[in-house]
């Protein structure tokens, strides 16, 4: 099989990916307050804090960002190796992954300096970019090229997509809480439960459409489980939303794991 020849655009792609991930990390340091900015939970007058709405996960849920960032850093370094320069899969996905890193960083900038509605716009754009990237990675274009490729592209993108799917709900709810009439929030379960059910359906649909990849469901399940902790043990409390979140977390995480496990156990040729 002929090895593709590297082109100048391939080197440019590698540099852009490294630059995009670097921008995301600088924005993350700003978002934690390490570079003097306001931490995300304290920005937007506290609207993005874990206790601001009924659909916000408890604080520990956000530790998943450490895993996602570590994966993106590892990907950026790996794709910059000379052996990856002309890889057809990198050509298909490198620019898209760079885009997701840039938009990720832009959300942190938006949370710091822009109005709350603009954070919703940016996170929706991030969700769309991740959905396209994940589809290209697992459904169309080129197949994965080994375990490292699968983990750093399919796995990390799947975690990123799953978490941002739930984060989009939390971000949008934070904005609506600030804008809709106060009486709309008198029965939070009436909107919270249907929204969580939709999140669960979307999570299972992503797993099915991607050949039962497990990482999107694991990320959604992680966030939903901590959302349940928040509603059952912290303010604002709501037992119905908390219990629904537990059910959603179990379904989106365990069903893809079960299907993937059965496929591994199935004898070859069945």
Q: Which of 215, 228, 226, 126 is nearest to 172 (CA)?
A: 126
Q: What Cα–Cα distance (Å) separates residue 211 from each residue in 130, 179, 217, 270?
A: 17, 39, 12, 17
Report the mean per-residue pLDDT for the chain: 92
Question: Is pLDDT above 90 for 8?
Answer: no
Q: Which of 78, 192, 210 is nearest to 133 (CA)?
A: 210
100-128: pLDDT as tens digits? 999 999 999 999 988 999 999 999 999 99
Question: Is pLDDT above 70 for 2?
Answer: no
- pTM of whole model > 0.75? yes
Tell me the three state secondary structure of residue 75.
Answer: helix
**DSSP at 212:** S
**pLDDT average, residue stretch 158-162:** 98
185-241: pLDDT as tens digits? 789 999 999 999 999 999 999 999 999 999 999 999 999 999 999 999 999 999 999
- The whole-angstrom separation of Cα 59 and Cα 76 is 28
């Amino acid at each position: 099989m002929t090895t593709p020849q590297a082109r100048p655009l391939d080197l440019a792609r590698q540099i852009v990916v490294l630059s995009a991930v670097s921008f995301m990390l600088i924005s993350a340091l700003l978002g934690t307050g390490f570079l003097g900015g306001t931490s995300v939970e304290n920005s937007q007058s506290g609207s993005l804090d874990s206790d601001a709405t009924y659909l916000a996960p408890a604080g520990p849920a956000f530790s998943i960002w450490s895993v996602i960032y570590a994966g993106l850093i590892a990907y950026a370094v790996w794709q910059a190796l000379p052996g990856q320069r002309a890889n057809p899969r990198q050509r298909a996905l490198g620019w898209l992954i760079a885009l997701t890193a840039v938009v990720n960083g832009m959300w942190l900038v938006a949370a710091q300096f822009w109005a709350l509605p603009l954070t919703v716009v940016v996170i929706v754009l991030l969700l769309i970019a991740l959905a396209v990237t994940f589809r290209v990675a697992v459904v169309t274009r080129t197949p994965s090229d080994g375990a490292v490729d699968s983990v750093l592209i399919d796995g990390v993108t799947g975690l990123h997509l799953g978490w941002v799917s739930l984060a989009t709900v939390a971000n949008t709810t934070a904005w609506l809480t600030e804008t809709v009439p106060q009486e709309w929030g008198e029965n939070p379960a009436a909107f919270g439960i249907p929204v969580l059910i939709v999140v669960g359906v979307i999570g299972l649909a992503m797993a099915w459409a991607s050949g039962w990849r497990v990482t999107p469901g694991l990320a959604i399940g992680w966030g939903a489980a901590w959302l349940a902790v928040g509603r059952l043990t912290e303010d604002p409390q709501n037992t119905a939303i908390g219990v629904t979140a537990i059910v959603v977390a179990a379904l989106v995480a365990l069903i893809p794991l079960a299907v993937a496990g059965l496929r591994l156990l199935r004898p070859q040729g069945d």
